[in-house]
Structure 1
């Protein structure tokens, strides 16, 4: 019995008066006739027709073995998402091997790739301090611990759902002492009870698959959280390096302005400069000194932000002074469909889609009968007659079936709710894919444009330095006024600060692009169905998981 078209997990609509979804193949022809019985009365009505169907279902209880392979509801198929062959901004060339191969295949569906490689993406910056700080994220970051705890909770829900496949066994020992006049009797019972609700139509199995998919989504959330925090640490660290470089630039300008102040004082003493030139030079020194002091606060704040991200008190975190590099590392991009195979947020959204798809099957299973097998056995009797004698042995076994004949449309509403949840999850998945494409395009554009801006800004810095040198020489010679010197020096400071800011922006864009590309993550990091349903707790096969017992 097929379960809907491959393209849509809920291709069969749940119209009133129909069995909402057929079951999977696996039963006999008689089982098929039971499962495809026309016109189950979902909601309104529920009269003789409903009672007739209910009785027929119950009369077919002896056919239980034939139904063992039936699972109602839609089989999951990943929603299709088309991606372009190449990026508009600086991606693969049109004649590149990757693009040519992709064009031959046509647009590719974005789905996780088991062959993708993983790596410590931040090592491309070749900074041991950054490497040390980011590795501490996995040890003590509290947001990551929270994500891991959520995953452990989801795993427990998988185990709880699996438990419904097995019988429940209860022991019920008792002892009773009764008396009348001079006579007293002691009776005892050692009884066991077992109850097993058979999953004939797959509702429990659908629930297990749903919980497993949601647990995988939580595992992907761990990866997405880790990647986001790592990128934040890297961005904050780069800002600290920018603050160090800016501190050096401002300190150098303080020294240069003090030299200029000395020149104006000499010129004033020689009677070739006005007192206002000296005051203006003093003001320049004081202004740049104030800026140099202020940047220290920026550094402290970002070091403390890093401490928070790695889960340490600020007093325990120190970062040595160093500058920022001139050019960020080259980030390999690939083609759009490759990028989507490595983003944990895309994997998380896709796993949520399957989780919602399986919920439809859970809701559909409510339209079918439930069968419960119960048994009780043990010994019960007076102790003086020999409690364990054959006469005291008791047992009973029962098979019972139940079916809802009328519920006011509650089951139909549950199916429609599950379908709507699936549609919402699909829309969210496709939106996540579109946002991922836009994010990569934006950061690639940023790297390209900022590279051009840095070239222009560096040229402006060199021109400003020559202007300061020329105007100072002319001022010493008495052929230039001090206002021109002040203007030239102010432009130099401004251009040097802007050049550092552009450099920081380029490095930050590189970090953001790496994060947008997934940071080397791939779907192999997700726990498999076998792992989720097994006794172990694999958070991350890459060995980067927060310890679950902490």
Structure 2
């Protein structure tokens, strides 16, 4: 009993040799009970992992799938995951015995004490085994740090995949919005051409002034100028999507028209669920686990280490005897090593890691706050855009009625053609605004799915 008490006291004294660690900072993070913006028409289920399929466009689904398979940034992220997975094996190897074999036959010509030369042959084979007893858990902490780093890198790859999927979906929806604007502009250009021809004809017969004809011609040229601009934007958007999917710049296959695309319903999700779903939050959490484990392993460097070594082998001067009846040699030893004075190196390393841990804590809190803000902004954007769409519908209806009246007045000779041109501009502006609003509502849905984690959940 006395020997056990002495051993326990010695262990406590040795544990006191570990470096001191500053306590972590107090957290000021608070999880809201509900979202600030009440979402209307919520869905009945959680966020789908492949949420882009909710838009109902096979071309969009194929584009995102291709990007997740071939995107260069994702391939880099997956290679880093494999690298960190291999580092777990490196850390685990430190907790296992290390065995090596050495065979070194030698032949030497030497002088005897009489001065006569002689030749000796030495045939030997030796193996060595060493094992460190992880008394304080330092090696286990290093393995935990490597495991958490691997999990953080896996979450980083998931975050990259979510970002790529959202970027591809955003690019494709923008492309369909530009396609719709181009179709509207080309249809409007035909009407402007007809109006300019009519104004020219009326000017030639003296029915209208030269001002009206020039105004109609200018309106036609203004509309015609927008066509190559939109085509350039479509061309650049296609190239950007092609690069995102891991290919060369080129055309992109289209699916549903912009008018047929519908934003998916707002998914369910409480603020607390967001913490388990977003991969960037998971990455910050795993980084915190990794730095804590590394801090523990660094702190324990001042504690003594216990190692067992065994050396064994066979040796003989004759090859025949070495093969048939060699002489066996062995040695078994235990080593206890502890630092006496290191100039404060380990304590300084511990303090540096403690400061890095505090940075990781703050980074985790920032990631959570950013997630809350992005989700709130996306929910608010969807609600405000719906309200704006209602006003846009009213504005377009008014503009269409104004154009009808202006056209009738001009046709009956009660107004000049300039009134009809102005009404045409107003209606065209409302139509463009409607297309842009539809695109922005679809993009807001993508932003919401990105903010809510997109279903990228790992155990």
CA contact (8 A) 1:242 1:324 kept: no
Aligned to 1:89: 37
For 1:494 and 1:316, how far apart are their aligned partners in 2? 29
For residues 195 and 515 of structure 1, do their structure 2 counterparts lie closer, same or farther at Cα, with a shift above 3 Å needed?
same
Q: Does 1:304 align with 2:244?
A: no
The separation in 1 between residues aligned to 2:207 and 2:428, in whole angstroms, is 27
Partner of 1:106: none
Q: 1:42–1:409: 8 Å Cα contact kept in structure 2?
A: no
* 1:474 matched residue in structure 2: 409
Q: 136, 145, 158: which is aligned to 2:88? A: 158
Distance in 2 between residues matched to 1:318 and 1:163, nearest whole Å: 51
1:122-521 mapped onto 2 (5 Å cutoff): 122-179=52-109, 183-315=118-250, 317-319=252-254, 322-325=257-260, 327-383=262-318, 386-388=321-323, 392-521=327-456
Take 2:207 and 2:385, find their aligned partners in 1: how far apart are those partners?
Answer: 45
Following superposition, the deviation at residue 230 of structure 1 comes to 0.3
Give the drift of 1:81.
Answer: 5.0
Q: Structure 2: how far apart are the matches of 1:516 and 1:359?
A: 31
Counterpart CA distance in 2 for 1:281 and 1:137 is 46
Structure 2: give runs of 5+ residues left out of the alignment: 111-115
Instruction: Report the 3-state secondary structure (helix = DSSP H, G, I; strand = E; otherwise coil) of the residue aligned with 2:36.
Output: coil
Q: 1:440 touches 1:513 (CA, 8 Å); kept in 2? A: yes
SS of 1:83's partner is: coil
SS in 2 for 1:248: helix
Alpha-carbon deviation of 1:350? 0.6
- Tell me if the contact between 1:468 and 1:489 (Cα under 8 Å) persists in the aligned partners: yes
8 Å CA contact 1:303, 1:319 repeated in 2: no
Contact 1:250–1:292 (8 Å) recurs in 2: yes
Pair 1:321–1:89, CA change in 2 (3 A): closer
- Cα RMSD over matched residues? 2.9
- The answer to whether structure 1 residue 37 and structure 2 residue 6 are counterparts is no
TM-score if structure 2 supplies the norm length? Answer: 0.90
Q: Deviations over 1:270-289 (max 9, x none)?
A: 42201221122112112111
**Which structure has more helix as a fraction of its residues?**
2
Q: Give CA deviations for 1:41-88 in whole Å, capped at 9, x if unaligned.
A: 679xxxxxxxxxxxxxxxxxxxxxxxxxxxx999x9x98953111111
C-alpha displacement of 1:329: 1.9
Decide whether aligned partners of structure 1 residues 73 and 207 sit closer, same or farther in structure 2, where only a CA change above 3 A counts.
Answer: farther
**Distance in 2, Cα, partners of 1:494 & 1:337:** 43
Cα 1:394/1:267, change in 2 over 3 Å: same
SS for the counterpart of 1:366 is: helix
Offset of residue 145 of structure 1? 0.7
CA distance in 1 between counterparts of 2:155 and 2:394 reads 45
Q: Could you tell me how far apart the structure 1 residues matched to 2:39 and 2:292 are?
A: 35
Displacement, 1:31? 5.5
Q: Please state whether the residue corresponding to 1:184 is helix, strand or coil.
A: strand
Shift of 1:184: 3.4
Rounded Cα–Cα distance in structure 2 between residues aligned with 1:417 and 1:85: 36
Cα shift at 1:137 = 1.7
Q: What is the match of residue 530 of structure 1?
A: none
What's the counterpart of residue 458 of structure 2? 523
Separation in 1 of the partners of 2:10 and 2:147? 29
Q: Within 2, Cα distance between the matches of 1:84 and 1:384?
A: 80
Displacement, 1:36?
2.3
- Larger relative contact order (Cα-Cα within 8 Å, sequence gap ≥ 6): 2
**For the structure 1 residues 119 and 391, does the alpha-carbon distance in structure 2 shift closer, same or farther, using more than 3 Å as the test?**
closer
Q: Distance in 1 between matches of 2:146 and 2:15?
A: 30
- Preserved CA contact (<8 Å) 1:242 1:323: yes
- d(CA) in 2 for partners of 1:447, 1:211: 42
Quick one: distance in 2 between partners of 1:402 and 1:290? 81
Q: Once the 2 structures are TM-superposed, how far is the Cα of residue 389 of structure 1 from its aligned partner?
A: 5.9
